Amino acid sequence: MRRVARVLLFLALAAASGLHTTLAQADEPARPNIVVVFCDDLGYGDLGCFGHPTIRTPHLDRMAAEGTKLTQFYSAAPVCTPSRAALMTGRLPIRSGMCSDKRRVLFPDSGGGIPAAEVTLAEALRDEGYATACVGKWHLGHLPQFLPTANGFESYFGIPYSNDMDRIAEAPKGRDAFWEPESRFFNVPLMRNAEVIERPAEQTTITRRYTEEATRFIKAHRDEPFFLYMPHSMPHVPLFRSGEFAHTSRRGLYGDVIEEIDWSVGQILTTLKELGIAENTIVWFTSDNGPWLTFKDHGGSAGPLKDGKGTTWEGGMREPSLVWWPGTIPAGRVSAELGTTMDIYATSIALAGGRLPEDRVIDGVDLTACLLAETPSPREQVMYYRGTRLMAVRRGPWKAHFMTQESYTGNNKLVSHDRPLLYNLEIDPGEQWDVAAEHPEVVEAIRQAAEAHQATVEPVPSQLEIPLPQL
């Protein structure tokens, strides 16, 4: 705890002075290595430490026991591309054009990607002397100028977009290709840096290979600060797992996939401990959005939350999240403080001794004090966007829905609410009881907060709507 106090004191003094100083100037080394493990379509209720009754996640459960479980931590969007853009930039995707009301995400026929003007987390940390690597699914553009190696990462190993894309003509039609999936059905490329090294990617071993690549990077950079971004391709459908994990989970194929991801996290934590650098490494574990419920047993569970991927109900954007930093972050703590994946951006840059870009709006906030000393989160509100539309706003315990829309199949009609729906999420996380009639003053306060926020948003062209250039 002495180290925690010293880090906090240093941060306070640096902030008060207005100087651009680094944590490395403190009397103890405080520039941590940073690891972000980012799942794809993981549900709030899919981990043992978040209440799943049959999926075994002993390594993630240990991570929770040795670190802090974040029970009110959010993604910035309910689908892949905008969510990942927000994590990498600390900005809502509407500010960068990484969202659309016409196309949900980037596809192999997309010509857009993360704008060069954005300052990625990798770029910010590289400027502070960090080694950087991305291992896994990128989904922020597959053309050369959009790849990780053009956006601050010194190395990249992974699949550049979702693992269900580029389906071959000979594959089963519709959803039949997902029920008994084969890697050959999906002609997705596996890349090393900017080169395709395997196509189609052999997805049955992809989680294992991501893990091996990640641990090699950690070992190679053990003596310098590093940033490892590890966005898994799953549990996004199609679901694949290696032979060691086949038919091992009582939850079926989906459970097998989660248990292999749990193993992967265990390998990362064990490597850090064996190298003697665990106490100087902060590890984040979270997901890009909620479970893809329309895929039934091939999708996950939102636990007590309403709905899932694609929606701005809680199940679409509240994520099962953990943060681990032995000796610095309190062990075994459950935190109900508000946070978002954009805050990983601001917090990481602060811990590295960097400075946030000053020429743009940054939506992330620094959670350092909240994580280290159980102070209240500086985050007061959460904006729930679906595409370019601000659907809902949370302030404190209250969440008001101005518009609602269900998942991507079935009744997908956009509904506007003249009187917003209002829920107290501290009491009603499942959003069952609309209490707007009893709290008109809360509704009005949130409406004003939404208007104030929207006044800061400047329209920019959508990157998701740019077609692939014709050769």
Other beta carbons within 10 angstroms of residue 102's beta carbon come to 9
Residues 6+ away with beta carbon under 8 Å from 411: none
* Residue 440 backbone phi and psi in degrees, to 5: -65, -30
What is the C-alpha radius of gyration for the chain, rounded to an integer number of angstroms? Answer: 21
- Specify the 3-state DSSP secondary structure of 253: helix
Catalytic residue among 80, 99, 134, 370: 80
Residue 80 is among the residues annotated as catalytic for this protein:
yes
Angle between helical axes of 58-66 and 253-274 (0-180°, round to 10): 50
Say if residue 459 is preceded by a cis peptide, omega within 30 of 0: no
Catalytic residue among 39, 52, 99, 139: 139
Q: Following DSSP, what letter does each residue of 341-386 receive, concatenated? A: HHHHHHHHHHHTT----SSS-------HHHHHH-PPPS--EEEEEE
Tokens 């490494």 map to which residue? 281
Q: Following DSSP, what letter does each residue of 204-225 receive, concatenated? A: GGHHHHHHHHHHHHHHHTTTS-
Q: Following DSSP, what letter does each residue of 305-321 receive, concatenated? A: SS--TTSSSHHHHEEEE
Residue 370 is among the residues annotated as catalytic for this protein:
no
Residues 6+ away with beta carbon under 8 Å from 385: 76, 77, 82, 92, 93, 94, 99, 312, 391
CA angle 36, 311, 403 (to 5 degrees): 130
Answer whether 290's CB lies under 8 Å from 31's CB.
Answer: no
For 75, the token pair is 């993604």
Angle between helical axes of 80-89 and 341-351 (0-180°, round to 10): 20
Residues 6+ away with beta carbon under 8 Å from 439: 398, 422
Q: Which residues are catalytic?
A: 80, 139
